[in-house]
């Protein structure tokens, strides 16, 4: 997909995810806004995961370890035809499959996540299986920065490195905030690049909102043969809505009626500018 289209998608997705959070009166607003550009580029340009090939073993994989940003994922999967918008509109209703964390009961969801620190091991298992079969598929795992305090992430890194999983691409949504505040005040995780390097990864810092850069970097061949890759995607929590950006409370705040209106207006202005 070309850059103009990707940019357009990002804006539309922001509108949808805010709409479903507002209508269902629950959700992780700011974290979904920080990773939506990454998920957009993955599903529209890189993964080639479709409703038609989803049930096949032979395809690329996407694991969203930061499961709480599921509204971003639902939004993109809906656009890709995995389910209808009217089904997504049941989000958080009694007996709906559309709940606040990914579940395989929803078409297109690869793995149930929500408890943090689990996704990377699962992605490592998938990448290992493709290596064992000498199949050319890649596994992408999106991790939050807060969950990097979980020890299991680093256990998974040792196995990724041991088995030289150059078909594994880890993306860190580095928005610098977690539920209680600044990641570096809660439990410092820097220097992230050096940590991942020491664990045997090829590391690159990228702009997690620049769809052109995401397209180029995530499509590239492994940075080094026989090494897993990690992209530290610098992002802004709440990105795209002026009054949500970098504000801790938007981690799981739902917009009021007025805030919702303002957010949609801001996005509509951006869409007009983009069309402009």
Partner 1 sequence: MDNQIGKANLEVFAETLLQEAKLNKNIVAVTSDSRGSGKLVPFGEQLPYQLIEVGIAEQNLVGVCAGLSAVGKKVFGVSPASFLTARSLEQIKNDIAYSNQPVVLVGISAGISYGQLGATHHSIHDFAVLRAINNISIVSPADNFETAEVIKKSLDYDKPLFIRYGKKPTLNLHKEGQKFEIGKAIIVNQGDEIVLIATGETVQRAYLASQILKKEGLNATVISMHTIKPFDKETFLEAVSNAKVLISIEEHSIYGGLGEICASIISQEKININFKILGIPDEYMINGSQSEVLDHYDMAPHKISNLAKALISK
Which residues lie near partner 1 (CB under 8 A)? 57, 61, 103-104, 110-115, 118-130, 132, 139, 151-152, 155-156, 158-159, 162-163
CB of 126 to partner 1, least distance (A): 4
CB of 135 to partner 1, least distance (A): 9
* Percent helix, strand and coil across the chain, each to the nearest 5: 45, 10, 40
Residue nearer to partner 1 on the CB measure, 10 or 121: 121
- Tokens representing 144? 């939050």
Residue nearer to partner 1 on the CB measure, 107 or 159: 159
CB of 93 to partner 1, least distance (A): 20
CB of 95 to partner 1, least distance (A): 17
Q: What is the DSSP string of 117-179?
A: T-HHHHHHHHHHHHHHTT----EEEEEESGGGGSHHHHHHHHHHHHTT-TTEEEEEEE-SEET
Residue nearer to partner 1 on the CB measure, 50 or 103: 103
Place of tokens 């041991």: 162
Residue nearer to partner 1 on the CB measure, 6 or 141: 141
Residue nearer to partner 1 on the CB measure, 59 or 209: 59
The helix/strand/coil state of 205 is strand
- Tokens representing 213? 């850069």
CB of 198 to partner 1, least distance (A): 16
CB atoms under 10 Å from CB of 213, counted, come to: 17
């Amino acid at each position: 997909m070309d850059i103009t289209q990707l940019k357009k998608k990002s804006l539309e997705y922001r509108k949808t995810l805010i709409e479903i959070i507002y209508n269902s009166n629950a959700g992780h607003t700011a974290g979904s806004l920080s990773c939506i550009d990454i998920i957009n580029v993955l599903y529209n340009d890189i993964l080639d995961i479709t409703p038609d090939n989803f049930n096949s073993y032979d395809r690329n994989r996407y694991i969203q370890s930061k499961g709480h940003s599921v509204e971003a994922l639902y939004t993109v999967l809906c656009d890709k035809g995995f389910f209808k918008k009217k089904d997504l509109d049941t989000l958080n209703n009694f007996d709906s499959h559309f709940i606040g964390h990914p579940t395989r009961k929803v078409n297109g969801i690869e793995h149930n996540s929500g408890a943090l620190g689990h996704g990377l091991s699962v992605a490592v298992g998938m990448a290992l299986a493709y290596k064992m079969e000498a199949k050319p598929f890649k596994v992408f795992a999106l991790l939050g920065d807060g969950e990097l305090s979980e020890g299991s992430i680093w256990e998974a890194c040792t196995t990724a490195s041991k088995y030289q999983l150059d078909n594994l691409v880890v993306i860190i949504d580095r928005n610098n905030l977690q539920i209680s505040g600044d990641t570096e005040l809660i439990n410092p995780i820097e220097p992230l690049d050096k940590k991942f390097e020491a664990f045997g990864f090829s590391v690159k810092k990228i702009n997690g909102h620049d769809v052109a850069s995401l397209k180029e970097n995530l499509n590239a061949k492994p940075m080094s043969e026989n090494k897993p890759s990690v992209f530290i995607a610098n992002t802004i929590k709440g990105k795209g809505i002026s009054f949500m950006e970098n504000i801790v409370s938007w981690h799981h705040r739902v917009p009021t009626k007025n805030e919702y209106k303002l957010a949609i207006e801001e996005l509509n202005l951006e869409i007009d500018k983009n069309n402009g």
